[in-house]
């Protein structure tokens, strides 16, 4: 009877020691599992935020293409009615000013997504993104206004604001390639890229051939038509 009790006690002590040695291991495994689960959640959050950012940028680009088309058409009509060299530059400045305010609003909207998918980075650019966007666009606009004022004294500068705006529009088109590839969109979205690049080139050429200002509205209309045809098919 005593022997049986001793044996039973030894078994209990052995089980107790085993459990004590196992608990730290289980704790580590559970802690490791929680860390992995947290990392997976963070990664998913980053992917969702990045996807939303690119989606917003693509949708904004579609709207801005319409704005470029409308601005080009309005400028063409104004120049046709008021045959004055200053009319072109004033139209470009008005277009750039409106575009700057649109960009400011858009930057405030996309900033939470940029902050989310760069949360693992301690980047000063990410933290100061809204301020940097405002400074960049404000400085760009100031340069255009300064060039416009200087063009009254230095004649060859008169077309430089137009060239800069056209080059910037083409640059937007090139940047869109990254967005389209990230979202794995249909090849039809490359029509949007082409529209931006050709619109920029058309604006650059427009001081020498004013009719090229009709190309951006035509491209905006063509892109919209292709999109509608795809939706109906």
Check residue 77 and give its pLDDT.
92
Check residue 137 and give its pLDDT.
78
In this structure, how many other beta carbons lie within 10 angstroms of the beta carbon of residue 4?
A: 8
Cα–Cα distance for residue pair 214/219, rounded to 1 Å = 9
**Confidence class of residue 67 from pLDDT cuts 50, 70 and 90?**
very high
3-class secondary structure for the chain?
Answer: CHHHHHHHHHHHHHHHHHHHHHHHHHHHHHHHHHHHHHHHHHHHHHHHHHHHHHHHHHHHHHHHHHHHHHHHHHHHHHHHHCCCHHHHHHHHHHHHHHHHHHHHHHHHHHHHHHHHHCCCCCCHHHHCHHHHHHHHHHHHHHHHHHHHHHCCCCHHHCCHHHHHHHHHHHHHHHHHHHHHHHHCCCHHHHHHHHHHHHHHHHHHHCCCCHHHHHHHHHHHHHHHHHHHHHHHC
pLDDT > 90? residue 13: no
Which two three-digit tokens encode residue 218?
């035509």
pLDDT > 50? residue 59: yes
Portion of the chain with pLDDT greater than 70, in percent: 69
DSSP string, 2-16: HHHHHHHHHHHHHHH
Portion of the chain with pLDDT greater than 90, in percent: 24
Are the beta carbons of 96 and 169 closer than 8 angstroms?
Answer: no
Check residue 12 and give its pLDDT.
47
Averaged pLDDT score across all residues of the chain: 77
Per-residue CA distances from 150 to 78, 94, 99, 230 (Å): 23, 17, 22, 48
Are the beta carbons of 129 and 115 closer than 8 angstroms?
Answer: yes
User: Which of 16-20, 23-27, 125-129, 161-165 shows the lowest mean pLDDT across its residues?
Assistant: 16-20
pLDDT > 60? residue 24: no
Q: What is the pLDDT of residues 28-37, one digit of tens each?
A: 544 555 555 5
DSSP state of 157: G
Check residue 116 and give its pLDDT.
62
Check residue 3 and give its pLDDT.
38
Check residue 195 and give its pLDDT.
95
* Predicted TM-score of the model (pTM): 0.76
**Confidence class of residue 86 from pLDDT cuts 50, 70 and 90?**
confident
């Amino acid at each position: 009877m005593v022997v049986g009790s001793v044996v039973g006690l030894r078994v209990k002590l052995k089980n107790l020691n085993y459990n004590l040695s196992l608990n730290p291991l289980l704790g580590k495994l559970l802690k490791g599992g929680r860390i992995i689960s947290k990392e997976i959640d963070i990664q998913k959050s980053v992917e969702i935020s990045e996807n939303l950012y690119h989606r917003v940028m693509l949708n904004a680009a579609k709207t801005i293409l319409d704005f470029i088309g409308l601005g080009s058409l309005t400028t063409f009509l104004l120049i046709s009615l008021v045959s004055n060299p200053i009319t072109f530059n004033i139209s470009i400045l008005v277009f750039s000013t409106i575009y700057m305010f649109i960009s400011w609003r858009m930057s405030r909207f996309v900033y939470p997504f940029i902050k989310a998918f760069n949360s693992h980075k301690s980047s000063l650019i990410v933290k100061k993104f809204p301020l940097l966007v405002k400074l960049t666009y404000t400085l760009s606009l100031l340069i255009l206004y300064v060039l416009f004022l200087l063009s009254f004294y230095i004649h060859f500068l008169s077309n430089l604001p137009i060239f800069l705006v056209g080059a910037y529009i083409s640059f937007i088109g090139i940047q869109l390639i990254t967005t389209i590839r990230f979202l794995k969109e249909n090849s039809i979205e490359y029509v949007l890229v082409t529209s931006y690049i050709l619109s920029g080139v058309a604006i650059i050429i427009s001081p020498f051939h004013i009719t090229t200002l009709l190309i951006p509205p035509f491209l905006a209309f063509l892109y919209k038509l292709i999109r509608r045809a795809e939706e109906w098919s």
